[in-house]
């Protein structure tokens, strides 16, 4: 075998080995990306599925009840939530309103003195 042929075989073997390494690295990278995409899809499914279920529940309620009743129920439940929030937020703030009134009265009395 001549030196040129030996060199060609050597270069060919090295190029083949390099191509195999590159291909393996590419396969690993693609597999990692696919795993990441699957993970993100699962996260999106977890986020979107509850909303879809809620919409289906609303649609299901609309089929069972007349539309006006469903709207009234929705308004009542929202009003109840608002009332609960107001009641819970007013409890700790009861001492504050008299202080606010006193503060409001002070500027009025200060203006009268001028």
Within a domain: 96:
no
Within a domain: 108:
no
Question: What is the per-residue pLDDT across 29-84, written as a single tens digit (0 to 9) for each?
Answer: 999 999 999 999 999 988 887 665 555 655 555 555 555 544 444 444 555 665 66
Task: State which residues form the domain around 35.
Answer: 3-88
Within a domain: 93:
no
Whole-prediction pTM value?
0.37
Within a domain: 94:
no
Within a domain: 22:
yes
Residue 3: pLDDT over 80: yes
3-state per-residue secondary structure call for the chain: CCHHHHHHHHHHHHHHHHHHHHHHHHHHHHHHHHHHHHHHHHHHHHHHHHHHHHHHHHHHHHHHCCHHHHHHHHHHHHHHHHHHHHHHHHHHHCCHHHHHHHHHHHHHHHHHHC
Number of domains forming the structure of the chain: 1
Within a domain: 107:
no
Range with the poorest average pLDDT among 5-9, 84-88, 95-99: 95-99
Within a domain: 101:
no
Range with the poorest average pLDDT among 23-27, 71-75, 81-85, 104-108: 71-75
In this predicted structure, what is the pLDDT of residue 82?
57
Within a domain: 112:
no
């Amino acid at each position: 075998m001549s030196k040129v042929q030996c060199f060609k075989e050597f270069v060919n073997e090295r190029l083949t080995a390099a191509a195999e390494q590159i291909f393996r690295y590419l396969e690993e990278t693609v597999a990692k990306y696919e795993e990441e995409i699957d993970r993100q899809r699962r996260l999106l499914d977890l986020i979107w599925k509850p909303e879809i279920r809620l919409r289906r529940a609303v649609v299901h309620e609309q089929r069972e009840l007349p539309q006006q009743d469903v709207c009234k129920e929705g308004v009542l439940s929202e009003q109840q939530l608002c009332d609960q929030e107001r009641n819970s937020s007013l409890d700790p703030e009861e001492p504050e309103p008299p202080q606010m009134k006193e503060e409001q009265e002070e500027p009025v009395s200060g203006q009268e003195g001028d």
